[in-house]
Amino acid sequence: MLDRLRLHVYPKEPLTCAKLTQYASLKLETKRRAKPTLHLLHVGRRKEKLRSAEAGAAADPKHKESSAMEVSGLDSDGKEFKNAEEMWREQIGEDGEQQEKKTQWYREGISYWEGVEASVDGVLGGFGNVNEVDIKGSEAFLQMLLSDRFPNARNNQHLVALDCGSGIGRITKNLLIRYFNEVDLLEPVSHFLDAARESLAPENHMAPDMHKATNFFCVPLQDFTPETGRYDVIWVQWCIGHLTDDDFVSFFKRAKVGLKPGGFFVLKENIARSGSEGIT
Ligand SMILES: C[S@@+](CC[C@H](N)C(=O)[O-])C[C@H]1O[C@@H](n2cnc3c(N)ncnc32)[C@H](O)[C@@H]1O
The residues spanned by each domain of the chain are 26-114, 120-272
108 CA to middle of ligand 1, Å?
13
In this predicted structure, what is the pLDDT of residue 211?
Answer: 94
Domain 120-272 CATH superfamily: Vaccinia Virus protein VP39 (3.40.50.150)
Averaged pLDDT for residues 102-125: 95
Residue with the bigger pLDDT between 177 and 97: it is: 177
31 CA to middle of ligand 1, Å?
19
**Cα–Cα dist 63/143, whole Å:** 43
Give me the percent of the chain exceeding a pLDDT of 90: 51
In this predicted structure, what is the pLDDT of residue 196?
Answer: 98
Q: Read off the pLDDT band of 66 (50, 70, 90).
A: very low
Residues with CB under 6 A from ligand 1: 106, 109-110, 113, 123, 165-167, 170-171, 187-189, 192, 220-222, 237-239, 242
Averaged pLDDT for residues 126-146: 96
Residue with the bigger pLDDT between 147 and 277: it is: 147
Nearest CA to ligand 1 atom 22: 165
Q: With 60 as the cut, is the pLDDT of residue 8 above it?
A: no
In this predicted structure, what is the pLDDT of residue 83?
Answer: 83
Q: With 60 as the cut, is the pLDDT of residue 47 above it?
A: no
For 217, other C-beta atoms within 10 Å of its C-beta total: 17
238 CA to middle of ligand 1, Å?
6
pLDDT tens readout for residues 11-33: 333 333 333 333 333 333 333 33
Atom of ligand 1 nearest to the CA of 189: 25
In this predicted structure, what is the pLDDT of residue 112?
Answer: 95
Q: Read off the pLDDT band of 70 (50, 70, 90).
A: low
Averaged pLDDT for residues 244-268: 95
In this predicted structure, what is the pLDDT of residue 96?
Answer: 58
Give me the percent of the chain exceeding a pLDDT of 70: 69
Q: With 60 as the cut, is the pLDDT of residue 63 above it?
A: no
**Cα–Cα dist 185/219, whole Å:** 10
Atom of ligand 1 nearest to the CA of 192: 27
137 CA to middle of ligand 1, Å?
19
Q: Which of 89-93, 104-108, 255-259 has the highest mean pLDDT?
A: 255-259
- Report pTM: 0.77
In this predicted structure, what is the pLDDT of residue 34?
Answer: 30
Whole-angstrom CA distances from 112 to 13, 30, 46, 70, 77 are 37, 25, 7, 29, 18
144 CA to middle of ligand 1, Å?
25
Atom of ligand 1 nearest to the CA of 220: 20
Q: With 90 as the cut, is the pLDDT of residue 82 above it?
A: no
Averaged pLDDT for residues 241-267: 94
Whether 71 contacts 58, CB under 8 Å = no
Q: With 70 as the cut, is the pLDDT of residue 89 above it?
A: yes
168 CA to middle of ligand 1, Å?
9
Average pLDDT, the chain: 76
Nearest CA to ligand 1 atom 26: 167
**Cα–Cα dist 139/39, whole Å:** 28
Q: Which of 5, 40, 112, 123 to mutate to test the pocket of ligand 1 (most atoms within 8 A of CB)?
A: 123
In this predicted structure, what is the pLDDT of residue 231?
Answer: 98
Q: Which of 119, 239, 244 to mutate to test the pocket of ligand 1 (most atoms within 8 A of CB)?
A: 239
Whether 269 contacts 241, CB under 8 Å = yes
Whether 235 contacts 161, CB under 8 Å = yes
**Cα–Cα dist 114/274, whole Å:** 32
180 CA to middle of ligand 1, Å?
21
Residue with the bigger pLDDT between 192 and 273: it is: 192
Q: Read off the pLDDT band of 167 (50, 70, 90).
A: very high
